[in-house]
Amino acid sequence: MLAEMITRLFERSLDDAAQAAAREGQWLPALWTEVEEMGLPLALLTEDQGGFGLSFAEAGEALRLLGSHAMPLPVAETMAANQLFAAAGLALAEGPAGIARADDLTLSNGRLTGTVARVAWGEQLDCLALAVGDTLCRVPRAGWTIAAAGTSANFHPRPTLAIDWTVDAEAALPWCPLASGATVRAFQIAGALEAALDMTLSHTATRVQFGKPLQKNQVVQHELAKLAGELACATAAADLAGEALARHDVLGVAAGTLRAREAATAGAAIATQMHGAIGFTREHRLHLYTTALWAWRDEFGGQVSWAKLLGSAALAAGGPGYWPMVTGL
């Protein structure tokens, strides 16, 4: 039922004009209001916490839909931030929220200062779930200014925030915000790949060259199969990351999100190649998804940091412990 509601909302309110405006850095207040009225920012909370009490599969489907519609607003980040706030016993966000980890901030005499780079829609957020060491801080909008503008690969705002805030809302860190961010991005990547596959199947079925549809060529069929394979891997990897996050297993999150990010790279390349030159143009809808895949692939840790974490764990496990480590993910 929630999936149907999300689909109807996005089909009604997230049209090409809205996507184009978001890519120009324009906030979409009407869409955000509808998202809040639906209760999506609280979707990952239990019923006792004021949320939907979704099953794991239902929560994953909701996050995948954010990807399959290339949702430009920080809905996934707000869902993850509220989940962290609720687990830590802090007040929930009263609007859009962000999540970040920044260990290079300075805390002196109760005042937190420093910068946090590349926060999605940082100027529009109500608050930030910010991890500093083993502490989760709820930093309100008044606690930062914009230090530098920035954009992601899909042209959405990613400014650097200058934090200057007297700490008055903190709690023990339930789990790392990077793990939350990496997990929601894995689900979004799976959703975006599903949309890219649908568009590629449609294009190759209707585009005719040398008297027959592209899809009739064996080499094209091979590439379509590879793209479908990447989608299947990303979907399973996102589920793995989600299950691991639920038991606070960072290594499991690393394995899941890393495979999803690899699928983002491979899938975007195949979809673009199958569309030919038109797939590179900003005017084509595929561009929404390929650029989103590149942006989400590189956020909340990126591939290198998650690969290093897994590699370090494998080295620490040694020969005898390697197989149990892998099968335990």
Question: Whole-angstrom Cα distance, residue 61 to residue 2?
Answer: 9
The CATH code of domain 91-174 reads 2.40.110.10
Domain ranges across the chain: 91-174, 177-318
Q: Determine contact, residues 257/185, Cβ cutoff 8 Å.
A: yes
Please report, for residues 25, 288, 328, the alpha-carbon distance to residue 19 in angstroms, rounded to integers and kept in the order given: 10, 8, 41
CATH for 177-318 (1.20.120.530, 1.20.140.10, 3.40.390.30, 3.40.50.1860): 1.20.140.10
| Tens-digit pLDDT string for the chain (329 aa) | 788 999 999 999 999 999 999 999 999 999 999 999 999 999 999 998 888 888 777 889 999 999 999 999 999 999 999 999 999 999 999 999 999 998 788 888 889 999 999 999 999 999 999 999 899 999 999 999 999 999 999 999 999 999 999 988 889 999 999 999 999 999 999 999 999 999 999 999 999 988 999 999 999 999 999 999 999 999 999 999 999 999 999 999 999 999 999 999 999 999 999 998 787 888 899 999 999 999 999 999 989 999 999 999 999 999 999 999 988 88
Give 270-291 as a DSSP string.
Answer: HHHHHHGGGGGSTTSTHHHHHH
pLDDT score recorded for residue 57 = 77
Does the pTM of the predicted model rise above 0.75? Answer: yes
Among 143, 132, 131, 134, which residue's Cα sits nearest to residue 106? Answer: 132
pLDDT score recorded for residue 1 = 77
- In the structure encoding, which two tokens stand for residue 34, read together? 């509808």
